[in-house]
Amino acid sequence: MKFILGKDRKQTCLFPVSLEDSIESENSVRSIDQFVDSLNLAELGFRSDFTENGPPAYNPAVLLKLYIYGYMNRMRSSRQLEKKCRRNIEVMWLLESLTPDHNTISNFRKDNAKAIKKVFFATVQIARNFGLIGATLIAGDSTKFRAQNSKKNNFNKKKIQRHIDYIDNKLEQYNKALEQSDSENEKEDIKKNIDKHQGRRKEYEKLNVQLNASGEPQISTSDPDSKHLIVRNNITEVAYCVQSTVDADHNIPFDYLVTNKNDSKAMGQMLQRAKTILGTNTFTALYDKGYHTGSEFKTANKLGIKTLVAIPGIGRASQAPDPNYNSEHFKYNKEHDTYTCPEGNILKSNGSIYKARNYNFKQYKTTKCKACPARALCTTSKVNGKVVQRSEFHKYIEANVKSVLQNPDAYKKRQAIVEHPYGTIKRQWSFDHIMTKKTIQRASADVGFMFIAYNLKRIWNIFRKTNTPRVQAHRSLIRLFTAILTSFEEPYKQNSKYRILAHV
């Protein structure tokens, strides 16, 4: 049987192949090279001045190209990227055969979180210049990325006290055993255990002091900014919560924010950022029920932004024995500040304002509950009867319910819009955790590269499939990207609005 034979490894070539000839003209690595070369890295915040003493530093463009290539090819580890500099012919071409070590590579990502975010906004500007962001319908959501901090290294007051109580119990047992022991060797072993547990107790006491000083409900020892968050249902992880906002036209993210909090107070801030980035408030924003918070609806109303937020179900404690008697079926009279129940009785407020954790509210009730024949269907309370609460933000919540019911088709698009980037990043690329640790800024740099890689790939894939005359004139990927960058470079330098974006 005949086989295709390879060349002799020891054979020399009369006409050696150069790196330039090894990379085909349509290779996306050439587009990465052009994209980074089009950026003014000093203006974006990358360090460009280095002391003359000591060995020369690497140009930040070299390390930026390496990271973008790595993230676009599912590689984030600095050690892995270091190896690729010596093995991968595309990386050799991109970096002109430079071989930075893993510490240099890692420090670049660690030290340039703000500048990396500005590079992300550069990808957003490219998309805007070519009309890929419509700014009429957007969707926001969050996802959790596991931090470099195990659950064992995350503590709250109860957990610390539980460890201290356990140690105190063990110390008590050791002290009793020490009193009863007659063997010197055994006493020595017990004393060693006592010293070990006393040392551990001091460590937990230090953690307790740090926790009290921080004013936070929990503390992480490996990555201080990460928090123990609910990932889904009853599953929890020590993680970061990444908020993102995506335009509906081509599923392109135009903003992201790394936080360590849940979604309940996030919508107002993300809408403010979206208004600044898009330069308009005429768009409609879609969010899921995790963002259903009265104060956030008030913020959206002040910004003049129409929002559609999923309506959460009524909690079990607030459910009436018969759902027809839930408080949502009680009609409010704004003029008289009263509620009318399904039986026609009037519920009034005594005018008092009560304070909950995050809002103020009034209570409405009636004495007619005592003799009402439908009382057993309406409430389980045996003392006060039915009590309806109305928060200070209730009018905004009611307006949202009305908007969602009037636009059911619009809200159904939310998941398809905003889950697209997360599905690609977390499922296809397997980026389900944060590579960096210690400070939220370093985590933001990691997430920033994810979204830069996503946006560049998304833009290139869209234009590969587009058949408009404007794109047909630049059908070659490299010629197309050159045209994109030509349209991007000058507006980016001149448009002060996009300089502001990096500080949002």
State pLDDT tens for residues 265-310: 899 999 999 999 999 999 999 999 889 988 999 999 999 999 999 8
Percent of the chain with pLDDT over 70: 90
DSSP β-ladder status, 137-146 and 284-287: parallel
Residue closest to 439 by CA, chosen among 215, 109, 152: 109
User: 13-22, 346-355, 357-366: which range is least confident on average?
Assistant: 13-22
User: 107-116, 204-213, 253-262, 347-356: which range is least confident on average?
Assistant: 347-356
φ/ψ region of 336 (left if φ > 0, alpha if ψ in -120 to 50, else beta) reads alpha
pLDDT average, residue stretch 357-377: 85
Q: Is the pLDDT of residue 503 over 50?
A: no
Q: Is the pLDDT of residue 477 over 60?
A: no
Side chain identity, residue 373: P
Question: Where does 137-147+240-311+401-428 sit in CATH, by number?
Answer: 3.30.420.10
Side chain identity, residue 281: N
Return the pLDDT at 130: 83
Single pTM value for the model: 0.85
Per-residue model confidence as pLDDT tens digits over 32-81: 998 999 888 988 988 776 666 667 888 999 999 999 999 999 999 999 99
Residue closest to 457 by CA, chosen among 251, 257, 255, 274: 251
Q: Is 7 helix (H, G, I), strand (E, B) or coil?
A: coil
**Tokens found for residue 9:** 């490894």
Return the pLDDT at 95: 93
Return the pLDDT at 233: 76
pLDDT average, residue stretch 454-474: 72
Q: Is the pLDDT of residue 249 over 80?
A: yes
Domain boundaries, the chain: 19-130+442-488, 137-147+240-311+401-428, 151-220, 316-392
Return the pLDDT at 496: 42
Q: Is the pLDDT of residue 439 over 70?
A: yes
81 in Cβ contact with 102 (< 8 Å): yes
240 in Cβ contact with 431 (< 8 Å): no
* DSSP secondary structure letters along 254-319: EEEEEESS-STTTHHHHHHHHHHHHT-S-SEEEE-GGG--HHHHHHHHHHT-EEEEPPPPPPGGG-
pLDDT average, residue stretch 146-157: 90
Q: Is the pLDDT of residue 174 over 90?
A: no
Return the pLDDT at 502: 42
Tell me the average pLDDT of the chain: 85
Q: How far apart are CA 57 and CA 49, in angstroms?
A: 9
Q: How far apart are CA 480 and CA 463, in angstroms?
A: 8
Percent of the chain with pLDDT over 90: 38
Return the pLDDT at 437: 85
Return the pLDDT at 263: 87
**Tokens found for residue 180:** 């009863």
Output 313 or 44, whichever has higher pLDDT.
44
Surface-to-core class of residue 65, CB atoms within 10 Å of its CB (0-12 exposed, 13-18 middle, 19+ buried): buried
Q: Is the pLDDT of residue 476 over 80?
A: no
Q: How many helices (H) and strands (E) does the chain have?
A: 20, 14
2, 70, 297, 408 from 398: Cα distances, Å: 78, 48, 10, 16
Per-residue model confidence as pLDDT tens digits over 199-235: 999 999 999 998 888 888 888 988 888 998 888 778 8
Q: How far apart are CA 349 and CA 347, in angstroms?
A: 7
Q: Is the pLDDT of residue 479 over 60?
A: no
